[in-house]
Amino acid sequence: MSSYQAPINDMTFNLFDVWQLDSYWQSNSQLQELIETDTAKAILEEAAKICEQQIAPFAAEADQRGAQLADGKVSLPEHYHTAYQSLVDGGWTGLSGDPRYGGMGMPKALSMMVDEMMCSADIAFSLYPGLTAGACVALLQHADEATKQTYLPKLYSGEWSGTMCLTESHAGSDLGIMRTTAKANDDGSYALNGSKIFITAGEHELTSNIIHLVLAKLPDAPAGSRGISLFLVPKFLLDNSGEPAERNNVSVGSIEHKMGINGSATCVLNFDNAKGFLIGQPHRGLSCMFTMMNYERLSMGSQGLGAAERAYQNALAYSKERLQGRVTLKDPSKAEPILVHADVRRMLLNIKAINEAGRSFATWVASLLDRAKYDECELSAQRANLLTPITKAFMTDQGFEACVSAQQVFGGHGYVKEWGMEQLVRDVRIAQIYEGTNGIQAADFMLRKVAADNGAVLCSLLTDISQQIGQQPNAISAALQQKIEQLQQLTQQLLQQSQAEQSAAACDFLALVSYVLYGYMWYKNLVALDADKHSADFIASKQLTAKWYQHKVLPKTAGLIAQLSGDSSSLFNLSEQQF
């Protein structure tokens, strides 16, 4: 069975040394009354206890038992109820919620670290509070005040939970062809009819009500995605006192039997004249829902990092205990721990280098979101928007690769259930798929985030990074400066190409930008090291891992640059019959 210990030291290093967010919190009038260093550390420590003691030890049991449907009701692993109640009792379900409606108001940079812990503990379990948090973000930004007053306090408290209902059997990424309809009722509500598939946490009994955010089309809707509206459809309609009463006409058609995240109830939901309430303006629902989807895409990054962190911890522990082979020949009569083998060290160091850069990257993106929110900083908002598809796609690609590599460290034991590694591989695989596949994220990054503004936000960011490196050089600076210059040149070349050529380059381009930005994360880690604050082992570990990234990971950019500069005409010239 795999174990887990939250990497609090590295988390606090990122918060207070790499990004110095304690200083930012104290300089912001909205945050200074809510959060400071000791409070943040206490929050991380308490979250770690729940994840380490109440969730992580039972993840394998939840995977084996799974979510089960019987007589229209979905039952979950028993310990999910206990763990969820602990979240409710501690106020964790409203950690980053708006204090005006009962939330704790913590900054995203802190709550994202709690998200990582939850995902390390059990990705399937993390989805129940995670979807609710995303629904709250959408309602906070787009619902009217009466709706906020009615629903947000119950969602923040964890008494109720939330979902998002987008996908239909024939309409995945092409939401414009959805068939779910909404017709106005005489009382101002709407009657929704249709079916949605792949609805995470669509039915369960962890909470007394489930608030579904549903995309549907009004009778006068324009064709395509511009004709989609957003509706709030509760599992139970509310009585005059705002409490769940009559069951709404929302039912479970089935639950999916999946490769992983088996403890998550992934449902087919049927809406048969279900009563719903319009959120935002008619025909503007997709933009409202994207508020939630962008939040969830950041959570996908936490899933990739969380699974990779647990995989690394267990592979490292196994490599110290498993005796195989004789390398150092200190005692030829005795086998040695496999950690002495170069290939095992290679796999572990690759994971460590990516994980620690990923944690810095996630903290950076979250801090940009905080500055965009609390300072109304447009530049921070633009940069967070630019980096969101990287957070979703690159962090989940790397998370899956890390879990596979960690499984490899275990050899045959990694392939059997009792060690827990195969579950991590299965569970994290979905993160590359849902909330928009990573191919879609790459296309979004290339076409909408870079080409749409002729590279303005990306080039501005790279220029700022280059200036930082020039003003305060360290061991990785020269190599990183060279890669930034190459990236800037290649970006200009891509901007001159056709949209079809840019689409063909999208996945490689996202990876290239990601590896360069992860190099910047290692630059920032080295800058933050302080002999007066950090142990000699901590400093040496960071320095050697940064050196590994510089010499063994960052050079992957050379191959990507060659691929991006290569001829992609075969992609367009091969006919359907020739594939």
Among all residues, which ones are annotated catalytic?
A: 435
Determine contact, residues 403/123, Cβ cutoff 8 Å. no
Q: What are phi and psi of 97, to 5 degrees?
A: -75, 160
Instruction: Give every CB contact of residue 152 below 8 A, 6+ residues apart in sequence.
Output: 97, 98, 101, 102, 103, 136, 139, 140
Distances in Å between the alpha carbon of 451 and those of 69, 490, 514?
Answer: 46, 13, 17
State the burial class of residue 55 (Cβ atoms within 10 Å of its Cβ: 0-12, 13-18, 19+): buried
| Residues 172, 49: Cα–Cα separation, whole Å | 38
Transcribe 504-521 into DSSP letters. Answer: HHHHHHHHHHHHHHHHHH
| Residues 69, 265: Cα–Cα separation, whole Å | 9
At 423, which amino acid appears?
Answer: Q
Instruction: Give every CB contact of residue 91 below 8 A, 6+ residues apart in sequence.
Output: 104
| b/e sequence 168-200, b meaning 16+ C-beta within 10 Å | beebeeebbebebbbeeeeeebbbbbbbbbbbb
Determine contact, residues 35/107, Cβ cutoff 8 Å. yes
Length of the chain: 579
Determine contact, residues 352/313, Cβ cutoff 8 Å. no
Tell me the torsion sign for CA atoms 123, 126, 131, 133: negative
State the burial class of residue 471 (Cβ atoms within 10 Å of its Cβ: 0-12, 13-18, 19+): exposed
Record the tokens describing residue 122, joined without a space: 């059990």
Determine contact, residues 386/458, Cβ cutoff 8 Å. yes
CB atoms within 10 A of CB 41: 16
Determine contact, residues 466/484, Cβ cutoff 8 Å. yes
| Residues 402, 339: Cα–Cα separation, whole Å | 17
